Amino acid sequence: MLPLMVVAQEKKKEESKGAVSSSMQRRAARQKWKDNRKLERAQKKAVEAHHKRLQSKKTLKAMKQEKKKK
């Protein structure tokens, strides 16, 4: 037979795992959404910056060639 303290501790663990309020679930879902959105926006921004760098490089190269022709 187990001591009463051990049984009481096991019950508390089981209760705390099962009793998650809906507001806590909403809060966790919102935080997850925020994190995902932050990652997506960072990726999009990095892609745009990369394309902008490539475009600038092409423009500068064209300008250089145009200047050489004159």
Q: Which two tokens mark 27?
A: 């809060």
Q: Which residue has the tokens 């990369």?
A: 50
Q: Which residue has the tokens 């300008």?
A: 63
CA trace torsion 37, 43, 47, 52 (10° rounding)? 70
Q: Would you state the pLDDT for residue 10?
A: 65
Which ranges of the chain have pLDDT less than 70?
Answer: 1-19
Q: Which two tokens mark 55?
A: 């475009």
What are the backbone angles phi and psi of residue 2, rounded to the nearest 5°? -85, 150
Q: How far, in Å, CA of 17 to CA of 31, rounded?
A: 20
Q: Would you state the pLDDT for residue 11?
A: 64
Q: Would you state the pLDDT for residue 70?
A: 76
